[in-house]
Structure 1
């Protein structure tokens, strides 16, 4: 499922790139992206903390 529409990042890609801190901005940087509109950040935080993004 697409997590970030602006960067076309999928949940699986974000999970795979997650660092030990679970920071969405850091994770996006590992994927060569950065948050654009920011609407995905709450979902990304939940995803990186072990929850489901949707």
Structure 2
């Protein structure tokens, strides 16, 4: 699933960033070499990160 259309970031990339220690959507995007543009994806990315962190 594509999480961020502006940056073409997939769910798997956000999950991997969370597993690598990113705690926020902004940190995850920075680790992928970009930043949130329109902001529509931030809530979804945050939920994915929270889910990954809870599973760890």
The TM-score, its normalising length taken from structure 2, stands at 0.82
Gaps of at least 5 residues in structure 1 are none
Higher relative contact order (CA 8 A, sep 6+): 2
RMSD between aligned residues: 1.5
Structure 1 stretches of 4+ with a deviation exceeding 6 A read none
Gaps of at least 5 residues in structure 2 are none
The TM-score, its normalising length taken from structure 1, stands at 0.84
Corresponding pairs, count = 51
